[in-house]
Structure 1
Amino acid sequence: MRWAAPDIAPGPFALLRLVTASAVLSILLLVLRQRPIRPSPRVLLLTLTFGVLSFALYTLVFNWAGHFLDAGTVALIINFSPLMIGLGAVFFLGEAFSRRLFSGILTALLGIILIAVAGSLGHVAIVGLVLSFLAAVLYSAGVLVQKVVLRSIDPLATMWIGCLAATAALLPFTPQAVTAITAAPLSTILGAVYLGAGPTALGYLFWGYAMNHFSTGQLASSNLAVPALVVAASAMLLGETPPVLAIIGGAICLAGVGITQLRRPPQRLQE
């Protein structure tokens, strides 16, 4: 996304990505699905909401943030989302509020403050920080809605309906997308196709199946590996690295997320 940012606007890039994801999921649905999809009106509405939040709005804001910040800083901020998911699970899914969650929130907030200070010192763009944080909120809300939807319909159907809803929501960008296809470099268009087929269609599909086998908090903690990978790849491929203060803040923030995912060791039985 960061590599393609100079060549294409956030809206058209998001639409191209979602069109590709919808096409890939439609093919998978035709090949793998054996029964019709018949969600109740409530589940259908929740699935549409999931699609608009997780794909249309999140992808749009995520792309927009990439026009202001390096990829590593964006990844560091968005990975505040596991804490948001944990809080959302407490308030909306009835999960218990634990001391670990409270400690993790305080620790992660310290990290967010340091990243914000990096912005106030001019090391990173404040607009990019706000957009990245908004993307984290949208992502977290989408995960919580998806968790509820997966109680009623399978991941493939959830993803397919969600991607179609997101594509429809982004249709106002169609004229710009058509122009971008003819004006942008072929490599940028192929980048949008890759993001649609890989991280969006297959990545979110695998994520949906995993959500049926693990708790929301456990699964969200797997995102802790993302910032390190992004920072390393961004440095090698794009020549970009976050400012030192942002890296320190991001590390503290991830430590806070990690605290929330700690599990007590099983107690040994006395002989």
Structure 2
Amino acid sequence: MGKRKRLSEPGAQNTLLPQKKHYRQRAHANPFSDHSLDYPASPQELDWNEHYPAFMGTGKTPEFADIGCGFGGLLISLAPLFPETLMLGMEIRVQVSQYVQDRIAALRTTSATPSSLAPSPYQNVSIVRANAMKFLPNFFPKHSLTALFFLFPDPHFKSRKHKARIISPTLLAEYAYVLRPGGIIYTITDVRDLHEWMKSHLEAFPLFESVSEDTLREQGLGQILDAVYTSTEEGKKVERNGGDKWLACFKRIEPTRNVVTS
């Protein structure tokens, strides 16, 4: 009989992790369709302990949200780098969201260190199947997030489908609501037209101001930017094909108020 692998061995982790080939799904889903979704009436009805049991009793809620998280590459990359920060992925596709859920469960098991008092890696990351275009405020209270990620979103090339793009004036109002002042929106795409669209709409919105990549790196956010560029399946595909990536980041600001003097 062959020798059984221990969880600490690399080969054992590979056999426990879910395989994408078992989670086939179309590349995109229509955000305007009536998907069968469960969502809370308000953020106060959510029990985050179910998503982050290792942080039970801390009162912590998610601070990073990856909208349309796909196969979870960003979340998995950032989780060990910010172990005290709760992160949530939102994905509308059934099979893809199930893959990420199974992936997180497997990583929590294979990365556990019983002798350590600290939570094992990946306890701070979770996912919900949700339509962020419709129900984002149902999950996050006002000013609760420090980072919102929109990585390689569906470009919806046809003009009549631009209303389905994840960045729009109406949706930006919701993003400003859940993002606290000083929080950052990260966008990246390999489609130049979509990059210009997202950038122009964010520039026109009064509660966001552009912040350069150099500035963010000077502020110690280089690890996040590196993950934004390289951690997702889409980002890796662009690299393999020798394509361009267009990054645009914006900071949530407080509105300027005109002071009337007599």
* TM-score normalised by the chain length of structure 1: 0.24
Please state which structure has a larger fraction of its residues in helix: 1
Higher RCO, 1 vs 2 (CA within 8 Å, ≥6 residues apart): 1
Please state which structure has a larger fraction of its residues in strand: 2
